[in-house]
Amino acid sequence: MTESDFATRLNDRFPEGVTADEREGYQGYIIAADKLIEFATALRDEFEFDYLSSVTGVDYPDEGKLEAVYHAYKTIGGAELVFKVQTDRENPEIPSLIDIYPGADFQEREAWDLLGIKFTGHPDLRRILLWEGFEGHPLRKDWQEAYYEADKKPFKSRWPKAEYTRAEAKNPYGANVKYPDKFDPEKWVPEGEDALYGSLAKYETTDKDGLKTDHLTVNLGPQHPSTHGVFRIAATLDGEKIMNLNPVMGYLHRNHEKIGERNTYLQNMPFTDRLDYLSSLSNNFGYAIAVEKLIGIEVPERAEYIRVIMAELTRVQNHLFAIGMFLNDIGAFFTPSLYAIEERELVLDVFEMVTGSRMMCNYLRFGGLARDLPDGSLQKIRDLVFDRLPRKTDEMDRFLSENEILRSRTVGQGYLSTEDAIKYSAAGPVLRASGVPYDIRRADPYSIYDRFKFDVAVRYNGDIYDRYYIRLDEIRESIKILQQAVEQIPEGEIQTGKPRYQMKVPKGESYGRVEGPKGELGFYLVSDGTGNPYRYHVRAPSFINLTAFGPMCKGLKVADVVAVLGSIDIVLGETDR
Amino acid sequence: MDSALIWEMVIKSLVLILALLTGFAYLTYYERRGLARIQSRVGPNRAGPAGLLQPIADAVKLIFKEEFTPGQAYKVIFILAPIITVIPAILITATVPWGGTVTIGGREVMLGIADINIGVLYIMSVASIAVYGVVLAGWASNNKYAMMGGLRSTAQMISYELALGLSFVGVILLANSMRMTEIVEAQRGLWFAFLQPVGAVVFFFATLAELNRGPFDMPEAEQELSAGYNVEYSGMKFALFFMAEYTKMVSISAIIATLFWGGYRGPFIDTMPGLGPLYMFIKIFFILFMMIWVRASWPRIRYDRLMDLGWKILLPLSLSLVFINATGILLNQMWLIPLLSIGAGFLAIQAINLSLRRKENAR
């Protein structure tokens, strides 16, 4: 079905309420708010767009409008479908899609939290990243932070006539925080907690002798050894059994997206490193693709190869770390993780050699790379991908995969069915371990991935064991890609045109997505033609994969919660942004 | 009872307690270095030559740390709990013989505190007291994690005491005595570990559960319950728990060595009974290494799986081992015992494997 076929079909099905988005540089469709439910149902059931990838919003104060932006896919592959719903800025109400795509749950809460779009029909529309004492919705254009200087970077000189004032002097301590109406932080009892616990099902039974059994509410985190950062799990227990579970996040929230809007396009490149700090090169890749789509520049051949090599090495080291830490979570006393970290360090050595940094690589540029591969680095990569990494992957497989305790902890536990995985918009290894062979490198190839021979790793049991094992599979597939890329890499330029600090970015929107190690990493950019992005949204896989976390854990034991969380593999820098 | 006997007892106890306490301190060093080697690290090597002063540095740090008592804790029990844990760990070694009888200054001295005729029973009963400390600590802390840790440890104790006790029964049958010295002497020909290999393995795992060590460290379970029953403890109170665990490791290793690995027996022991403690030391050293090795290599078993293992596999297995021992002794065909018990162990392994099969969407 071609693009225009689809448009005609859509037009026939919805003669009213669905119009193509014809603003300059924009794509997709604008849906009338009252048609949204009908449209989404038809989209899922008739047009086979069964996977709602991202939900976000954009604020257009000049037009007095707030716009919710949705990206949907077919899990059989193909390009995305963008559709938008516009609503009044003063009283923004949009019907919630949670019944049609349950994966919209956290994302709608995030859009409510940061933009103030009210999703009617959402059962639990609370703030998700910010706290209850927060005034306003920070991603709205008229919201200003406490130490506000200017809308856009680079800021004007801070002391133009050598008169130096600190931003703190303008906003003294005590006056730098705004609270909502009638909110007194001194007297505040976290009523949000009540709402949180209220959202967990109440559990109280009386047995035949009249003995009452109550549930036990336990908070795992924010300070907990196995939450991989400051992450909190509020759980209701019956003995050791999980009755209900809700993830609570936002402890590491820094409003990445607002800062991203203040930054210039290039300044965001190192900033993406800080999202998922284990796989910074993948983050760079996604952002570079989004901006390049906007500008419309090509990337030289050699640069594409180096990008692929770096992205795949990132995947290898991320998965090694994930496996090691997962084993740690189920109680192996650091031995597997240290063995995995040993290999990861070798990959990081390559990163350091090539990019100058081990973790915050900041290596990609729009239309190319920051610098070429230094002498000897290719040989180092060769040694790794032809000898050391395959050997060590097999070794880890041999040591771990058949271990009785590991199997007894993981096989059949934390089950996520294929339908649920799609429904909850799970991405990456979590989706593929549930039997959906969806890998963006194959489904909607970007860069030069269509040239390489590799298989999409997929496993069908959807349990923790498969989510563990699929990471080993993916390491092996990545090594295959790496071996081909290292052999084929041509000589040549690494940058289209001159490297520049400030890019001319035409008006429009773009969505760049890559298959990051943790799943689909997408960057949604809106440009108004200036040097800074008008809207910069990150579709964070760690965040959205957590939607399926609660359902996966129901009925398991406390010990399994940690294992399930480890098998999802989250990084809080990305979850909380 | 003459005064010399009292002095002998006091001195022997003192030596043993001091040896246990230094042993505990250096066991932590041994474990950390051993783990580090297994994990391709170096381990503590800063304090003193090769890090040998590390335990002292740790002790100084723990002594000077703030003792924090949670507001709603039940204070008396909160303070009592670590003491209840640590005392049985030291008492347990009283019946372990460290060597034969040596002559010091014309006086025959038995190397070992007490050689009572129900030594094995004594060990069983004293060892179980320690769990009270854990449960009470969990309960008195007024903390949900601690409570869950305490509850786990009771359940674990009940399911493992049986396998442990039945392994003792096997040894009692073979030695025809409950007196520890006689059990050692009964191994003059062949160590019980070779006569009853599966029994030795079952006993080893049951003691791991008893010690709350990996892969059975459920009551602590750092990754799940932060630190489990001792989550609210700090300073010396925490150090007491720590001490109890490691002292008990030494004691239990000594018991394993006595029951299955010939105790203080070794080459030339009959001519030079003073070698006994040395042989004990070597055996304890190796058994401790086994414990460290297990901790370094295996993930933690889940709580309910552990109960399954205890009740459904280890209990029947150790019962059948008792039966096999009795049969072998009754028929006076000792060669039957290792043969049949290995068969039983093989069946048990098959049962474990069977339970690990992938079930259709099993929960």
What tens digit of pLDDT does each residue of B258-305 get?
A: 888 887 887 887 777 778 888 888 999 999 999 889 888 888 888 778
Q: Are B210 and A213 in contact (CB under 8 A)?
A: no
User: Inter-chain contact A333–B305, Cβ cutoff 8 Å?
Assistant: no
Nearest to B303 by CA among B86, B143, B158, B132: B158
* Residue B1: per-residue pLDDT: 58
CB contact set of A210 (below 8 Å; sequence gap of 6+): none
Closest CA to B140 of B78, B82, B90: B78
Q: Give the model's confidence band at A196: pLDDT under 50 very low, under 70 low, under 90 confident, else very high.
A: low
Give the pLDDT confidence of B151-169 residue by residue, as tens digits: 888 888 888 888 888 888 8
> Pairing between strand A93-95 and A118-120?
parallel
> pLDDT value at position B260?
87
The closest CB to that of B356, out of A339, A408, A561, belongs to: A408
Q: What percent of chain B has pLDDT over 90?
A: 1
Q: Indicate the range of A148-152, A325-329, A537-541, B255-259 predicted with least confidence.
A: A148-152
Domain ranges of chain A: 3-120, 256-576
B115, B97 Cβ separation under 8 angstroms:
yes
CB contact under 8 A, A558 and B361: no
Q: How far does the CA of residue B185 sit from the closest CA of chain A (Å)? A: 38
* pLDDT value of position B302: 81
d(CA B149, CA B139): 9
pLDDT band at A316 (very low <50, low <70, confident <90, very high): very high
Looking at the DSSP bridge assignments, the partners of residue A217 are A236
d(CA A237, CA A239): 6
Please identify which residue in the block is written with the tokens 């939900």. Answer: A55
Q: What is the mean pLDDT of chain A?
A: 85
pLDDT band of A348, cuts 50, 70, 90: very high
For residue A192, pLDDT over 80 is answered with no
Where residue B170 falls among pLDDT bands split at 50, 70, 90?
confident
Contact list in B for residue A345 (CB cut-off 8 A) is none
Confidence of residue A200 (pLDDT cuts 50, 70, 90): low
Cα A96 from Cα A119, distance rounded (Å) = 5
Closest CA to B66 of B312, B269, B233, B282: B233
pLDDT above 70: residue B362: no
User: A256-576 adopts what CATH topology?
Assistant: Cytochrome-c3 Hydrogenase; chain B (1.10.645)
Give the best residue of A333, A339, A567 to mutate against chain B (max B CB count within 10 A): A333
A7 has a pLDDT exceeding 80: no
User: Greater confidence, B106 or B288?
Assistant: B288
Chain A contact for B107, CB < 8 A?
no
Residue A66 bridge partners (DSSP): A59, A87
Query: Phi and psi of A236, rounded to 5°?
Result: -105, 130
Query: In this predicted structure, what is the pLDDT of residue B357?
Result: 65
Contact B300, A330 (CB under 8 A): yes
Q: How far apart are CA A421 and CA A417, in angstroms?
A: 6
pLDDT band at A479 (very low <50, low <70, confident <90, very high): very high
* DSSP secondary structure letters along A484-535: HHHHHPPPS-SBSS---SS----SEEEEEEEEETTEEEEEEEEE-SSSSEEE
User: Per-residue confidence at A195, pLDDT binned at 50, 70, 90?
Assistant: low
Judge: A412–B362 Cβ closer than 8 Å, yes or no. Answer: yes
8-state DSSP, A557: B
CB contact at 8 A, B150 and B139: yes
Yes or no: is domain A3-120 CATH 3.30.460.80?
yes
Q: Do A558 and B358 touch (CB under 8 A)?
A: no
The pLDDT assigned to A314 comes to: 92
| B363 touching A (Cβ < 8 Å) | yes
Q: Which two tokens stand for residue B14?
A: 């003192």
> How close B245 comes to chain A (CA, Å)?
17
Q: Which residues from A are below 8 Å from B148, CB to CB?
A: 218, 240, 558
Q: What is the pLDDT of residue B360?
A: 46
Residue A329 and residue B223: Cβ atoms within 8 Å?
yes
Quick one: pLDDT at residue A3?
67
Which ranges of chain B does DSSP label H, i.e. alpha helix?
3-38, 54-64, 75-91, 119-140, 144-175, 180-186, 192-195, 197-210, 222-225, 235-260, 276-297, 303-308, 315-331, 336-355
Give the least confident one: A163-177, A226-240, A494-508, B124-138. A163-177
Torsion angle, alpha carbons of A110, A115, A117, A119, to 10: 0
Q: Is the pLDDT of residue A271 over 60?
A: yes
Closest alpha carbon to A45 in A103, A100, A102, A112: A100
Asked, as a colleague might, if the bond just before A154 is cis with ω within 30 of 0, I would say yes
- pLDDT above 60: residue A199: no
- How large is the ipTM? 0.82
Q: Any idea which of A33-42, A340-349, A377-386 has the lowest mean pLDDT?
A: A33-42
Say whether pLDDT at A557 is over 70. yes
Among A19-33, A164-178, B116-130, the least confident range = A164-178
**Closest Cβ opposite residue B300 in set A331, A338, A339:** A331
- In this prediction, residue B270 carries a pLDDT of 75
Average pLDDT, chain B: 83
Structure pTM? Answer: 0.86
Q: Comparing A360 with A132, which gets the higher pLDDT?
A: A360
Helix axes A301-329, A335-355, angle to 10 degrees: 160
State the residue for tokens 């952002």.
A287
